[in-house]
Amino acid sequence: MGDIVMSNIALTRYTRPTPVQKYAIPIIKSKRDLMACAQTGSGKTAAFLLPILSQIFADGPGDALAAAKASGQVRSPRTQGHLTTGDFSYRSRVRPCVVYGGADIGQQIRDLERGCHLLVATPGRLVDMMERGKIGLDFCNYLVLDEADRMLDMGFEPQIRRIVEQDTMPSKGLRQTMMFSATFPKEIQILARDFLEDYIFLAVGRVGSTSENITQKVVWVEESDKRSFLLDLLNATGKDSLTLVFVETKKGADALEDFLYREGYACTSIHGDRSQRDREEALHQFRSGRCPILVATAVAARGLDISNVKHVINFDLPSDIEEYVHRIGRTGRVGNLGLATSFFNDKNGNITKDLLDILVEAKQEVPSWLESLAYEHQHKSTGRGRSKRYTPKGERFGMSSRCLEHFIDVYQGQVTVLLDRFPGGSEQLVLFSGVWG
């Protein structure tokens, strides 16, 4: 890898490569195109940066070209890749630059005019710079699409194709191209076919799975009880432990941040309506521990790589399992241990089966009520079974065994309870009639 790379690896306290690094680095150094799928937080960024920088150091960086015509890393996160690049190119002549939306474009242009060996860019701002004539890709030797699935989810495919297939970008086969993704859906397969030449496909672990380094907890919490339950969790883990709390809406992020502040917690938030400067300041406060609680929407937090996040809390669960995998992957990164707690209630029925599968595969504890719900949803989808849980108004209802015992005790003689037994020996309230509340 060379003396500079190895000394910088030591400075960043890496001691041994992660599995994806172990296999990706020799593939990239052999100059093959690569499509790599690995769990979020498995060290994918270093897997491509280290061999690219090693090759640049071996060849000699040459003159830093004005208008940034050397190597490109196109990714969805804002500046994380630039921070990592700076770590591994430390004390060398390699000059990295970064361009991304929401920041001062004039300053970015001035930085580029000083020359650039390695460019980290978000798709929208890179296209803008190309159309302004500030960036040319004539001499791009390496192209990396990092977090490719996230970029497609965010609607960046037209910009990505504009960058790769148009303008002066060398064609595949002339440049070395690498794609990294946590999942491998059909859209990513098409992108790999179009952008990569005779590539090697690398999958570390099951594609789209979660790390066993993350302890996953799913708890039933009614909407009205979420804030109280969140305070209990924060008190249990300690106020100084870095905790990332996911909510679904920007309004919800602001409201929860205000609530936690009034409760005496040092917290901050990021979401799509915050300026880039505000987001970067919030992340700085979070990383430094000044505000150890970060409330975030999923879009704003995509690609965050903060190594010491101890706890991820899904205050609001997402509607699809891939988003769940990406969220909890913000903890337990690069071999560290992490905890992920998710609040589940009637609003989350559509994710039940996939969530159960994820927990079972990662050898996590599965609540009996989640097994029951998954069983019920499976029978509903196949048209079998009579099991339905409802209140007299037809609303769905879930209850733990402890609550059920209390319910029977309080309303004894006024209620009829029908218990149905599901696989695994769990009991669930299926039907009741009579007085409620």
Residues 6+ apart with CB under 8 A from 390: 396, 397, 431
pTM of the model: 0.61
DSSP letters spanning 88-122: HTTTSS--EEEE-TTS-HHHHHHHHHT-BSEEEE-
pLDDT band of residue 435 (cuts 50, 70, 90) is very low
Model pLDDT for residues 389-420, shown as the tens digit of each residue: 333 333 334 444 444 444 444 444 444 444 44
7-16 long-range Cβ contacts below 8 angstroms, 24+ apart: 7/91, 8/87, 8/88, 8/89, 8/90, 8/91, 9/50, 9/88, 11/87, 11/90, 12/87, 12/88, 14/46
Mean pLDDT of 106-113: 92
Look at 150 and 426; give whichever has higher pLDDT: 150
Q: Flag whether 371 is in a domain.
A: no
Give a yes or no: residue 309 inside a domain: yes
Host domain of residue 250: 214-366
Examine the domain organization and report whether 235 and 186 are in the same domain: no
Question: Highest mean pLDDT range out of 17-21, 223-227, 421-425?
Answer: 223-227
Residues 288 and 312 in one domain: yes
Q: Is residue 209 part of a domain?
A: no
Tokens of 7: 């000394």
Select the more confidently predicted residue: 117 or 299: 117
Q: How many other C-beta atoms lie within 10 A of the C-beta of residue 403?
A: 12
Which of the listed residues 175, 203, 231 is the one where a domain comes to its end? Answer: 203
Other CB atoms within a 10 A radius of the CB of residue 324 amount to 23
| Same domain, yes or no: 341 and 409 | no
Claim to verify: residue 317 and residue 427 sit in the same structural domain: no
Is the pLDDT score of 35 beyond 90?
A: yes
Top-confidence range, 145-149, 205-209, 432-436: 145-149
Average pLDDT over residues 168-176: 91
User: Is the pLDDT confidence value at 272 over 90?
Assistant: no
Q: Is residue 241 predicted with pLDDT exceeding 60? A: yes
How sure is the predictor about 29, in pLDDT bands with cuts at 50, 70 and 90? Answer: very high
| Nearby residues of 362 by Cβ (< 8 Å), 6 or more positions away | 209, 210, 211, 212, 214, 216
Q: How many CB atoms lie within 10 A of CB 285?
A: 16
| Domain CATH for 324 | 3.40.50.300
pLDDT value of residue 73: 58
Residue 286 located in a structural domain: yes
User: How many C-beta atoms lie closer than 10 Å to residue 323's C-beta?
Assistant: 19
Last residue of a domain, one of 177, 203, 229: 203
Same-domain check for residues 176 and 242: no
377-390: buried (b, 16+ CB within 10 Å) or exposed (e) per residue?
A: beeeeeeeeebebe
Residues 6+ apart with CB under 8 A from 419: 427, 428, 429, 430
| pLDDT at residue 382 in the model | 54
Tell me which of 203, 224, 239 is where a domain ends: 203
Are 46 and 185 members of one domain? yes
Instruction: Count the domains in the chain.
Output: 3
Beta bridge partners of 243: 293, 311
- Binning pLDDT at 50, 70 and 90, where does residue 421 land? very low
As a whole number, mean pLDDT of residues 310-332 equals 90
Tell whether 37 and 186 lie within a shared domain. Answer: yes
Which helix or strand (DSSP H or E) is residue 326 part of? Answer: helix 321-328
pLDDT at 174 over 80: yes
- Report if residue 375 sits inside a domain: no
For 252-267, write each residue's pLDDT tens digit.
999 999 999 999 999 9
> Comparing 12-21, 261-270, 346-355, 408-417, which segment has the lowest mean pLDDT?
408-417
H/E stretch holding 265 reads none
The residues pairing with 220 across neighbouring beta strands, listed in sequence order, are 344
What's phi and psi for 67, nearest 5 deg?
70, 15
Side-chain half-sphere CA neighbours of 90 within 13 A: 11
Question: What pLDDT is stored for residue 178 in this prediction?
Answer: 95
Q: Which residue would you say has higher pLDDT here, 379 or 184?
A: 184
SS3 416: strand
Pair of tokens at residue 130: 């190309």
In the chain, % of residues over pLDDT 90: 40
- Same-domain status, 232 and 193: no
Q: Tell me what the pLDDT averaged over the chain comes to.
A: 79
**Are residues 256 and 117 part of one domain?**
no
* 406 plus 347 within the same structural domain: no
153 in the same domain as 57 = yes
Digit-coded pLDDT (tens) for 190-234:
999 999 999 999 988 766 566 678 899 999 999 999 999 999 999
Of the listed ranges 33-37, 67-71, 146-150, 154-158, the one predicted with least confidence:
67-71
Does residue 185 sit in the same domain as residue 274?
A: no
Q: Are 426 and 371 in contact (CB under 8 A)?
A: yes
What is residue 15's three-state secondary structure? coil
In whole angstroms, give the CA distance from residue 397 to residue 46: 47
The most confident of 3-17, 38-52, 57-71, 89-103, by mean pLDDT: 38-52
